[in-house]
Structure 1
Amino acid sequence: MNGCEITLHGARLTTLGSGALWWADQSLLCVSDLHLCKSERMARRGGPNLPPYETRDTLTRLAADLDHTQARTVVCLGDSFDDLQAAQSLLEEDRLWITRLQAGRHWVWIEGNHDPGPIDVGGSHLAELFVPPLTFRHIATHGTSGEISGHYHPKVTLPTRGRRISRPAFLVDNDRLIMPAYGTYTGGLRSHDGVLASLMQPDASAILTGAVPTRIPMPRL
């Protein structure tokens, strides 16, 4: 399993190259911002018609992470669906797939700003989840510690061989970890954006996703 080991408030965690977070001591897998059914939501609201395959691709990667980790608890850290109507538009085969992934597991949907209410796809629905010593919530809160959140879809842009590449990234410091977006069609906010710079401590790190997760100082302006 390709990953980068970190410690947050005494909890030993592994940031996976897929963008998932693995907490082995709790057998807990966390993913954030799946934004399932985004293509349906965009088409419904008059946006561009994107190929409607992102839900299947995202679930395929999630199934692979669950197969590798054999996680007993799954935390989806908000914005799992692109809106509440998108959750209702799930294809039956995808709904059944989610049901199979949930079987035998404690599955928690954390409420996000895109999906702020209960969704009828099994599992528990919470505003946030406390698993000592960590708190899982969708949006980071100033002044807290031991926090794992999502929402901002952080990414890092780096010069490589005369060109610039961008990758989703975990941002981590002594107080918090901000997850990258897991969904196939999600964009990202560069790590040097002011809101991320204000949330993260000066010595924060970025862990780039990909085949070989790489930890670097968090890029800032």
Structure 2
Amino acid sequence: MVPFSFCAQEMVLLEGSGSRPGALYWPREDALLVADLHLEKASFYARTGQMLPPYDSRETLERLAQAVRQTGARRVFALGDNFHDSAGPERLEPHAAGMLDALTRALDWVWITGNHDPELGTAAGGTCLAELTVAGIALRHEAHPNVTEPELSGHFHPRLEVTARGRRIRRACTVASETRLILPAFGALTGGMAADDPAILGALQPAQAIDALIPAQKRLVRYPLWRKAA
């Protein structure tokens, strides 16, 4: 776990496993934050004849439960596209449904709706909101451009590609400006967008600098993505 400062708050980035992203822990709120779980994505595609292994929800929830144990978090904020569609909770197989039920009963759980699950409702347990402000920081699915309020969001699935020792490495990352963070997609069946894609850089404007953040070996690695011209 790697601590860093964001908008006068201590935050902690959890290291993922391999190419899998970690989560964000907010000690002041005793809260774990994740984005873009896309639960039941495989079953969604199966309905159209694209057969994928039906274990994505179980894998994602197992990793999420591990992050809760690692941090001791008492709250979870899930920042949108929690299910691949609003009917996703109805397709959970019994094991995954039991895992999710245990988590939402044990924790103060808030689902922020996204573009994939705008009508999620209460079927998944917990509390469902369009967005929420906690300690002056807005929690929403997609970053609002041209705002200066502190903000945590997801939506873009940012990933960084770098060359290290002659090898091309691709890692999920958090993208940060001075007042806003875009979290990586946490779900097992989620792709990614280049962290320096114009859509991501534009969503974080106005900014002085935008960096990709990757926790590695108990330190925070910052990769510059964009700097405002002098």
| TM-score (normalizing by structure 2) | 0.88
Query: Hey, what does 1:78 align to over in structure 2?
Result: 80
Query: Hey, what does 2:19 align to over in structure 1?
Result: none
- 1:90 counterpart letter in structure 2: L
Secondary structure of the 1:218 match is: strand
Tell me, yes or no, if the aligned pair for 1:171 and 1:218 is still in contact at 8 Å.
Answer: no
1:170 alignment partner, one of 161, 165, 174: 174
1:132 alignment partner, one of 116, 130, 135: 135
Query: Hey, what does 1:42 align to over in structure 2?
Result: 45
Query: Hey, what does 1:29 align to over in structure 2?
Result: 32
Task: Tell me the CA shift for residue 71 of structure 1.
Answer: 1.1
2:222 alignment partner, one of 185, 210, 216: 216
Structure 1 unaligned blocks of 5 or more: none
Query: Hey, what does 2:103 align to over in structure 1?
Result: 101
Change (3 A) 1:52 1:218: farther
Query: Hey, what does 1:55 align to over in structure 2?
Result: 57
Q: Which structure is higher in RCO with an 8 Å CA cutoff and minimum separation 6?
A: 1
Alpha-carbon separation, structure 2, partners of 1:104 and 1:40: 26
Alpha-carbon separation, structure 2, partners of 1:134 and 1:120: 27
Tell me, yes or no, if the aligned pair for 2:105 and 2:126 is still in contact at 8 Å.
Answer: no
Secondary structure of the 1:59 match is: helix
Task: Tell me the CA shift for residue 45 of structure 1.
Answer: 2.3
- Residues 1-39 of structure 1 deviation map (CA, whole Å, 9 limit, x = unaligned): x22x22222111111113211001110111100011111
| TM-score (normalizing by structure 1) | 0.92
2:200 alignment partner, one of 196, 199, 208: 196
RMSD: 1.8
Query: Hey, what does 1:187 align to over in structure 2?
Result: 191
Tell me, yes or no, if the aligned pair for 1:33 and 1:80 is still in contact at 8 Å.
Answer: yes
Q: Does 2:157 match 1:153?
A: yes
Change (3 A) 1:209 1:7: closer
Task: Tell me the CA shift for residue 206 of structure 1.
Answer: 1.1
Tell me, yes or no, if the aligned pair for 2:178 and 2:208 is still in contact at 8 Å.
Answer: no
Tell me, yes or no, if the aligned pair for 2:13 and 2:24 is still in contact at 8 Å.
Answer: yes
Tell me, yes or no, if the aligned pair for 1:87 and 1:119 is still in contact at 8 Å.
Answer: no
The more displaced of 59-68 and 102-111 is: 102-111
Secondary structure of the 1:109 match is: strand
Task: Tell me the CA shift for residue 46 of structure 1.
Answer: 3.1
Task: Percent identity, please.
Answer: 36
Secondary structure of the 1:195 match is: helix
Alpha-carbon separation, structure 2, partners of 1:202 and 1:195: 17
Alpha-carbon separation, structure 2, partners of 1:131 and 1:121: 22
Alpha-carbon separation, structure 1, partners of 2:122 and 2:186: 19
